[in-house]
A and B are shown apart, each in its own frame.
Chain A
Amino acid sequence: MHGRIRTWGPGALVLLPTVLLLGYFVYGLIAWSFNTSLTDRHTGRKGPASYVGFENYGNLFTEERFLNSLKNLGVLTVAFIVGTLIFGLIWALLLEKGVPGESVFRSVYLFPMAISMIASGVVWGWLLNPSQGEDARGLNRLFEILHLHFLENPWWTAGSRWTTMASIALPAVWQMSGYIMALFLAGFRGIPPELREAARVDGASEFKLYRHVLFPQLSPIALSALIILGHISLKLFDLIYAITGPNQFRTEVPAILMWNTLLRSDLAKASAIGIVMLAVVAVLVIPYLAWTVRQENEQ
C-alpha cells in the first residue's frame, strides 16, 4: 500500500492543484454555462429557473442578428488567416535570404504584436475613417496626398460583407503577421543546411528548392499557425469593439453579441452564444490536438 502511493503519489500531488483549478474554473464553469443555456433565465432575477431544453439554441439559429454575426465571423476568419499567412510568409522569405540588419527588420515586423488590441483598435478606428475626397482623413487622407484616389474607400462602413470584414481584418493582419513571420523563420532556420546543399548539387532551381524541399518541411508550422490564427479570430472582441463600437450590426461577431446580451441580463441567451462559440473553436482545435497526440505517439 505504502509502496504504491510512493510510486504515483508525488506525481498526483504535483498535478492536483492544476487539475482542481482547471477542473473548477474551466470545465466546471463551462458546464455551468451550458446548464444556464438550457434554462429560461432571461433576467438577472435570482431564484429557480425552469429548463427549456435547446429552445435558446433554436431561437439563436432563427435570429437574423445572430446569423449575421456568425457569417461576419466566418468572413473575418478567412480574410484574417489568408492575409496573415501571406504577409507572414513573404516577410519570412525576405528575411530568410539573410538581409543586412535582419534583426532590425525582425523587430519592426514583430513589434505590432506587443501592442494591445484595444489600443491598436482605437488608432485603426481613426485610420479607417470613411471620409473621401477633400474631407478625407486617416488612410484615405494618405491616399489623397499620394494621388492614389482609386484606393480611397469607405472601409467597413459600406459595401458587402467581404469588404466590411476585410477592413476589420486589416488591423488584425497588421498585428499578427510578424508573429507568423517569426514562426516561419524559425521553421526555415530549423531545416538542416545539408538538405539545401544536396538539392543544389542535384541541380534544383531556387523555385524548385522551395517548392519541393523547404515548404514540405514547414507544413507542421503552417498547421500550427492556422490553428493559432483561427482561434484568435474566433474570439476576436476588443479590436472590433474599439474600431466600431458595441452596437454595429455590420461588424458584429458572436463575442460582441454575447457581451450585448449579457449587458441586458439575458443570462440564458448569452450562455447559449458562448457555448456556440466554444463549439466553433472546438471544431478547429480538437482535430488538431488529436493529430498532435498521434504524431507524438508515433515518435
Chain B
Amino acid sequence: MRGGLSKTLALVGAAGLLAVSACGNSDNSGGSGGGSSASKDVTVFTWWADGGEKAGLDGMVSVFQNDCKDYKFVNSAVAGGAGSNAKQVLANDLQAGKPPSTFQAHAGAELSDYINAGQVDDISDLYKEFGLDKAFPQNLIDNLTIDGKIYSIPANVHRANMVWTNPSVLKKASLDAATAPASVDAWIADMDKLKAAGVKAPLAISKGFAQEMVMEVVLLAELGPDSFKGLWDGKTDWAGANVTSALNKYKKLLTYTNTDREAVDWPDALGYLNKGQAAYFVMGDWVAAQQLADKVPDTAYTYWPAPGTAGNFQFLSDSFVLPTNGPDPDGTKCWLKTVGSADGQKAFNTKKGSIPARSDANPADYPKYQQSAMADWKKDKIVPSCAHGAACTLGQNNDILSALSQFSGSQDIAKLQSALGTAMKTS
C-alpha cells in the first residue's frame, strides 16, 4: 500500500509538472519557432497577413530566399488592422524572453517602448556595413535616430498627410478637384459651398486613428513643420494659443463629417467617398493600393497633400529590428540586409503600395501614385506621424486616441488640449 501510494503521488506530481510545462510551451509557440537554431530558421513576426501587404511580404521573402540560401523563412504573421492584435502577442513573447528572429515595428518613437524595455539592439553598425547610411535620405535617418543610435531598418515609407477627393461630387459646387485649397480656412470655405450644394457630409471620416490623422494635418498646416515636430519632442507647448486655434479648426471640420464616424472603419469611409456621399477623405497613401485593388478607375478620384501641408511629407514607416538575445542573430542580419536592399525594397513596395525608403529606386517600376510620392519624398520636408508610431509611443498614442474619442462626443476644446498635453508628457 505504501509503495502504491508514493508511486501514485509521483505520477500525479509528474502529471502536474507536464501540465505546467505544456502551458508554458503553448504560450510561447507564437514567436519562438526559431528556438531550434540548428535548422537555421528565421522567424519573421509581422501583421501582414493578407491583401497587398501579404503580397509585398511574399515578394520580400523570395528575394531573401535567393540572397540568404543558408536560412529558411518562417512566417509568423498575426492578422489585425495596424497590428492591434499582433502587438499584444509580441509583447507576451518578448516578456517571456522568447523573441522571434525579427519583428515588424513602426519606425521612430514607437520603438522606444522596446528600447526602454531592453528588447532590441542598436544596429547603427549595420547601416554602415550595408551602405544604408548613404542609401536612405539623411532626413529619414535623423527621424530614425534616438540618442545617436538606430534600432531598425525601414522596409517602406507611407505618406499620412494626404486628402483623397471625389471629382464628381466637387463638381456639384464647381470646385476644381486637381488643386488643393491653399489653407485649412479655404478648405472649410469649400466645404460650406459643398454643403450648400446639397452634400451633407463633405468630409468622410472613420473612428480612432482616422480622426487623429485629421487633427494632425490641421496642426501641421496651422503650426508649420518645425513647431509641429516640436509637439512630439517637447519643444512646442501644447497649451499654446496656436494649438487652441488649430484644434478649433479641427472641431469645425468635424461638423462636416458623417455622423456615424465612431462606428465605421476607414474602408467604410473610403466607400462613402467612392459612392459620392463625401467629397474628401483624409487618409494615408495606402488608399492608393486599396483603390487599385478595388478597381476604382484613376479618373474617379484625385489626391493632394492636405491643405496647408504641401511641401511636407508626413511619413510613417514599417521597419524590422534585431531583438536582444534573439535565436540566431546572423540569420536576422541577413533578413535585415534583404529589407534594406534595393531588390528587397522593390519587391516589397511595388506590391504593398508604399514607396521604398531608399532614394536610389527607379520610379518607372512603380504605379502612378507612388511615382509622385517618390518625387515628393526626395524634395519635401519630412515630418513624423503620431497616429502611426513615428512620433509617439504606443502609450502616448493610446492616450491621444482616448482623448479624441471623448472629444468626438463632448466637443470640449480645453479638455482635449490639456489631455493631449498630458498624453505627451507620459511615456
Contacts and interface: CB of A to CB of B under 8 A. Distances in A.
B259 A154 contact: yes
Given A44-B91, A44-B94, A17 B405 contact: no
B87 interface: yes
Chain B contact residues: helix, strand, loop or mixed: helix
B19 interface: yes
Contacts of A44: 91, 94-95, 113-114, 116-117, 119
B402 A13 contact: no
Nearest to A158: B409
Contact of A250 (B9, B16, B258, B405): B405
Contacts of A246: 84
Nearest to B407: A249
Contacts of A130: 259-260, 262-263
B12 A13 contact: yes
B71 to A, nearest CB: 28
B296 to A, nearest CB: 21
Nearest to B408: A157
A170 B167 CA distance: 41
Given A21-B16, A44-B91, A263 B394 contact: yes
Contacts, number: 107
Interface string B394-405: 110010011101
A260 interface: yes
Interface string A98-124: 000000000000000000000000000
A252 interface: yes
A137 B268 CA distance: 13
A65 B20 CA distance: 37
B12 A250 contact: no
B28 to A, nearest CB: 15
B393 A129 contact: no
B118 interface: yes
A292 interface: no
Interface in A1-28: 2, 5-6, 9, 13, 16-17, 20-21, 24
B405 A248 contact: yes
A174 B318 CA distance: 42
Nearest to B209: A247
Contact of A263 (B88, B207, B260): B88
A156 B261 CA distance: 12
A46 B118 contact: yes
Contact of B398 (A6, A24, A244, A264): A264
Given A131-B259, A252-B402, A20 B87 contact: no
Nearest to A130: B260
B395 A5 contact: no
A158 B262 CA distance: 10
Nearest to A44: B117
A79 to B, nearest CB: 18
Contacts of B207: 245, 248
A178 interface: no
B118 A129 contact: no
Counting contact residues on chain A (CB < 8 A from B), the size range is: 35 or more
A5 B2 CA distance: 10
A238 interface: no
A3 B181 CA distance: 94
A169 B401 CA distance: 23
A265 B113 contact: yes
A217 to B, nearest CB: 43
A266 interface: yes
Contact of B118 (A6, A45, A156): A45
A245 B212 CA distance: 15
**Which of B114, B208, B403, B405 has the most CB atoms of chain A within a 10 A radius of its CB?**
B405
Nearest to B406: A249
Given A248-B405, A264-B394, A264-B398, A131 B260 contact: yes
A65 B402 contact: yes
Interface in B1-56: 1-2, 5, 8-9, 12, 15-16, 19-20
A280 to B, nearest CB: 21
Interface in A264-298: 264-266
A65 B116 CA distance: 25
B395 A128 contact: no
B6 to A, nearest CB: 11
B91 to A, nearest CB: 6
Residue from B88, B113, B116, B260 having most chain A Cβ neighbours under 10 A: B260
Contacts of A2: 1-2
B65 to A, nearest CB: 33
A113 B83 CA distance: 30
A132 interface: yes
Interface in B194-213: 200, 207-208
Contact of B403 (A43, A245, A249, A259): A249
A130 B409 CA distance: 12
Contacts of A65: 402
A263 B263 contact: no
Given A131-B259, A157-B259, 6 more contacts: A6-B1, A20-B16, A43-B117, A44-B113, A157-B408, A250-B405
Please provide the 5 A-B residue pairs with the shortest distance between their CB atoms, ordered closest to farther.
A264-B395, A44-B117, A247-B401, A249-B406, A157-B262
Interface of B: 1-2, 5, 8-9, 12, 15-16, 19-20, 84, 87-88, 91, 94-95, 97, 113-114, 116-119, 200, 207-208, 258-260, 262-264, 277, 393-395, 398, 401-403, 405-406, 408-409
6 contacts: A44-B95, A46-B97, A65-B402, A130-B262, A245-B207, A249-B403
